[in-house]
């Protein structure tokens, strides 16, 4: 009997939390790099010669990128330590000497979503894009 009650409680909690949060999609984020603002970086990536100031935004009202962590990876290894960034922009030329075609940038976005009358909710999203 106790196992049935625990299982029922677990199902109720999962249902509650699943309905309490909406899941944003990657189309809710924009990653722009100076000079190639119209390119979809997550699909097309960027060339070494295109490394410039990157800005991350959102397409969702009341949601903003508060901070993020950026890493440059090659295969399954990091090329350099993860860098924490406050705000929503970063100069990718910092990685110009380290990056090679085939590498990828990995971002851990720290997003704040504030809805009217509710406490702000902190969320994290992971995004990668390749270096061509």
Tokens 């929503």, residue?
88
Residue 53, phi then psi, degrees to nearest 5: -70, 125
- Strands 104-113 and 121-130 come out as antiparallel
Q: Where do the domains of the chain lie?
A: 24-130
Both tokens assigned to 4: 């049935």
Q: What is the pLDDT of residue 4?
A: 44
| Cβ atoms within 10 Å, residue 57 | 15
pLDDT in tens, 35-93: 999 998 888 999 999 999 999 998 888 889 999 999 999 999 999 999 999 999 999 99
CATH for 24-130 is 2.60.40
Average pLDDT over residues 95-113: 95
pLDDT in tens, 17-31: 333 334 345 568 889
């Amino acid at each position: 009997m106790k196992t049935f009650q625990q299982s029922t409680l677990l199902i109720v909690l999962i249902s509650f939390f699943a309905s309490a949060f909406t899941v944003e999609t990657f189309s809710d984020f924009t990653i722009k790099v100076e000079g190639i603002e119209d390119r979809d970086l997550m699909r097309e990536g960027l060339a070494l010669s295109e490394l410039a100031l990157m800005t991350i935004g959102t397409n969702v009202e009341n949601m903003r990128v508060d901070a993020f962590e950026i890493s440059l990876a090659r295969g399954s290894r990091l090329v350099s330590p993860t860098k924490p960034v406050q705000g929503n922009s970063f100069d990718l030329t910092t990685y110009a000497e380290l990056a090679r075609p085939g590498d990828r940038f990995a971002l851990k976005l720290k997003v704040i979503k504030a809805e009217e009358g509710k406490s702000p909710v902190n969320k994290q999203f992971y995004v990668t894009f390749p270096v061509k």
